[in-house]
Structure 1
Amino acid sequence: MEARDRLRELLDAVLDEEHRTLDDMAGSAYSSPYHFSRQLSRGAGEPPVAMRRRVLLERAAWRLRHGTSVTDAAFEAGYESVEGFSRAFRRAFGCAPSELSGQAAGQTAARGHWLPAPNGIHFHPPTSLWVHTQEQSMNPMAELMLEHDLADTRALLERAKGLSEEDYRHDRLPGHTVLSWDGEEASLAAVLEHQVRSKEVWLAAIEGADMPHSEGDDAASLLARHDRVAPRWLAAVRDIDRRGAWGDTLIDALCDPPESFVLSSVVAHVLTYGAHRRQLARQLLRAAGHDVDQGDPIEWLRGRAGVA
């Protein structure tokens, strides 16, 4: 009983409106930041700063559906700008906060306000917490691979925006193909276009939508396409996991003739060839004389962990 009471004290310290930093939380719980973080991570399986950010985003989603403006939701959740809040919200929920506000709320009511959690601890309206003991969140390794693929693709597209047309479109690997049905990928432009289009096409198949139109393969257009498809792709995979649908079969009517695919194999396919194309893009950048990082998920995770 004492252990449960202490955990509740720690949770209260995390979620108190006045506690914006780890030092604030630890001070309220009469603990050092190190021991506070260690106790909560051990008891709840989630670092305090990450838990606070997640639960406040859940609260923001609930309030947006009930008429709170995006600006008010952003500042209530502790963000210094609407832009920063919108980026974090889109990464978490797979849609812009404006899609949950006002009249749009009725169109998205089927989506809950809970995010994947390792402990079942969630925001419960109007101001309390709910502990869902049966919850199983996505395997952290799978989540890491999905998020790294999207973030690394975006970083490469940002890098490509600064290249000359010659470097971007030069065929440095004539005749090279990654997948036979995709055709030649001899230039950086072709590799990056296929990287983005792969998610567009597979997502259309999963959603039962029409074959998506290619909207331009210059780096700026590809970046815009990526930013549209990335949160939808992440939300779709999380939904597959939430429903336990990894073994379900997809009948892809976009193929001629239609083919069937197991959903888990589709996600594995996208991640496998996505990783290959990202490293191929780096090879082409280096061949054009440009320095580029290794695309290592270890370094990416370290960098992300340093962001409050």
Structure 2
Amino acid sequence: MQTGRDRLRELLDAVLDEDNATLGDMAADAYASPFHFSRQFARGTGETPVALRRRVLLERAAWELSGGKSVTEVAFAAGYDSVEGFSRAFSRAFGHPPSGTTNERKQRWLPAVNGVHFHPPMSLWVESEPRGRADMDPTAVMVHNELEDTRELLTAAAGLDEEQYRRVQAAGLTVLPWDGAEESIAAVLHRHVRTRELWLASIDGADTPPEGEDDPESLILRFNAVAPRWLEVVREIDRRGGWSDTLIDALCEPPESFVLGSVIAHVLTFSAHRRLLVRHWLRTESPDIAEKLGYGDPIMWLRQRG
């Protein structure tokens, strides 16, 4: 969630201004001395102005590289004097060289104590649920918990044999009539991942994506591709206060309109149903595997995160 217009917001703006390459520039833009600017900024964010700017610009660089920009172009835009210096800094931060950034590599945020990250094209996203906060946004908690729990379920399902994975658990079971029968762990997990692929295509105005394979390994790859995109869309809606915006879904026949907030609520609602269903069936097929999963409870998930 984006913060209101306050002094910290003004300090952040000064740090991210394209023209403010030095600490002196940042301080002058915020009408403060470099000493007081650094002190105020570090007190409010837990990072020095220079360190936060460097990290956020590297996050932007990762986003630009994933979109096809050249390493040279991105390096100089990030304020580095040479491609070699940029490549070293990028590799240390992300664990892979700039040339290893592809469209599939969507994890572009670096660890941050303050939850402040780059958001396209050149602004900030302040996470609404930094650890330890008592006033965390329940929607953000549900979205993050849902994604992490899904990944755990997909990983657990990969430990089943083919017969267990595709066994009919409830003949004729239909979660939503337009989605068809979901009688097995395989069918439910496929539809669970497929739901995001379809909604993202609708939001992006893209064509209906192909069905994709439904074996556990393929579903994990599909989920790893779609989950970061889904999270980015939810963050973008929240950032601009677009929960009441209307989506015209051209993939429906005939096209239908949906309020974006209701779309996210829809996905979270039926995601919870499907995840609990798969968890129940996993207990039946493999108690040992299911025992490691727990109950998917957001309370326990938050405690485990520390």
Task: Determine helix, strand or coil for the equivalent of 1:254.
Answer: coil
Map Cα deviations across residues 199-235 of structure 1 (whole Å, 9 max, x no partner).
0001100110001101100000000000000011111
Q: Cα RMSD (Å) of the superposition?
A: 3.6
Partner residue, 1:105: none
Partner residue, 2:270: 273
Q: Which moved more, 1:251-260 or 1:283-292?
A: 283-292
Equivalent residue for 2:107, pick from 82, 90, 105: 90
Contact persistence 2:106–2:229 (CA under 8 A): no
The 5 A counterparts of 1:19-38 are none
Partner residue, 2:304: 303
Q: Which moved more, 1:256-265 or 1:63-72?
A: 63-72
Distance of aligned partners of 1:165 and 1:74 in 2 relative to their CA distance in 1, 3 Å threshold: same
Once the two structures are TM-superposed, the CA of residue 117 in structure 1 deviates from its matched residue by 4.5
Once the two structures are TM-superposed, the CA of residue 302 in structure 1 deviates from its matched residue by 2.3
Map Cα deviations across residues 234-293 of structure 1 (whole Å, 9 max, x no partner).
111111111211111111110111111100000000011011111111011011133422
Partner residue, 1:230: 227
* Letter in structure 1 aligned against 2:206: A
* Letter in structure 2 aligned against 1:304: R
Aligned residues: 227
Once the two structures are TM-superposed, the CA of residue 182 in structure 1 deviates from its matched residue by 0.6
TM-score scaled by structure 1? 0.64
Task: Determine helix, strand or coil for the equivalent of 2:248.
Answer: strand
Question: Taking CA–CA contacts closer than 8 Å with sequence separation of 6 or more, which of the two structures ends up with the larger relative contact order?
Answer: 2
Partner residue, 2:149: 152
Partner residue, 2:208: 211
CA distance in 1, matches of 2:88, 2:212: 32
CA distance in 2, matches of 1:217, 1:52: 46
Once the two structures are TM-superposed, the CA of residue 169 in structure 1 deviates from its matched residue by 0.2
Partner residue, 1:285: 282
CA distance in 2, matches of 1:250, 1:279: 29
Equivalent residue for 2:58, pick from 57, 60, 75: 60
Q: Which runs of 5+ in 1 are unaligned?
A: 9-39, 94-107, 120-137
Contact persistence 1:177–1:185 (CA under 8 A): yes
Map Cα deviations across residues 69-108 of structure 1 (whole Å, 9 max, x no partner).
5652242x4x6x449xx89971649xxxxxxxxxxxxxx9
* Letter in structure 1 aligned against 2:244: G
1:111 and 2:121 equivalent? yes
Partner residue, 1:201: 198
